[in-house]
Structure 1
Amino acid sequence: MTLQCSAYIATSLDGFIAGEGGDLSWLDDANALVPKGEDCGFSAFMDSIDYLVMGRNTYEKILSFGQWVYSKPVIVLSSRYLSIPDHLKDKVTASSQPIQALCEKLSRQGAKRLYIDGGFTIRSFIEARLLTDIEITLIPTVIGKGIPLFSGLAQKQQFTLLDTKVYDFGFVQLKYGLEYGS
């Protein structure tokens, strides 16, 4: 399988992707630092993917924003029934199949690159040895408590630095490839 499974995510300096209870207000504060027109490479990243794969919690958080922002097809991983609003039925599907089987299916259908989003889903792809690369944008904020990006991994994981970008407004992007031993 030649499918690339990529994560693109922001973390606080202390490694959190959300505050307590999934609070993302710290990202709103961080976005106020970003000059108008700068998206830190997100549009180019989105242009490079075929599908976005996320977990149920991430999907429900995005739904709470009120406006759907993704033009690419979204697959929500969930072992339970997932309610999809009528206006999103042509954009969002649910899958309860194992992620290896899902990746194989998407690869057979011609997908080349998936965007893997959400802490639990990213960790699941790492555990399944499917995540190929991750781009982490470090935000110059310390949250103290919340949802950590890598908490709960069952084994040590080696990363190889592929690229670094430093922004004048304090963000640092680190792109890593993942190395899986035998």
Structure 2
Amino acid sequence: MTAAEPAVDNIIDDLRVRCSEGALSEFEIAMYNKRAQNLLNSMPIIAYCALGILGFIEKNETKMRKNHLESIRLATETRRLPGLFMFNFGCSLCGMGYAEEGADYLFKAYEHDKTNLRHLNSAIIGAYQADDQRLDYLLEQWAKLNEGEPHPIVEEIEDAEEALEALKSIETEGTVSWKQVKAECKLQ
């Protein structure tokens, strides 16, 4: 008789959902830390990733980096979806203000699974925040995977470029009419 596989703990998804609802209390953070610690022997990759996310939530950069990197190392060694753990690290880095480094990990996550729209979407947002040169490539990939539909950020980029053009005309002409500003910025 073979031993039963341990039940999968969805702590990472639970953290993601709970964080989307607002700030965690100290009690909740302690509860999730204990839950992650209890997973270190049975599911170390997931445990380290959860501890990395908790480091981000606690604004503890050392804890965030150390644990995310350990989850990536273990996932890479065992070939267990390293892109997923790179994705989580990239999100934590961007959230802590390290946009360029975060964009690199989000790009690596996308490279591991080029059909994962969630990873591609985050890589696009990360590249945009970091003013990363890979943004155009990622936007092309988005359009290919979405039957030619551009990513929503394209409209944001175009709106920002139009606003910059309006500002440039103010600099060169000295003044601009309110009607032109409203038209250029697509205001009502």
TM-score with structure 1 setting the length: 0.30
More helix by share: 2
Structure with the largest fraction of strand: 1
Higher relative contact order (CA 8 A, sep 6+): 1
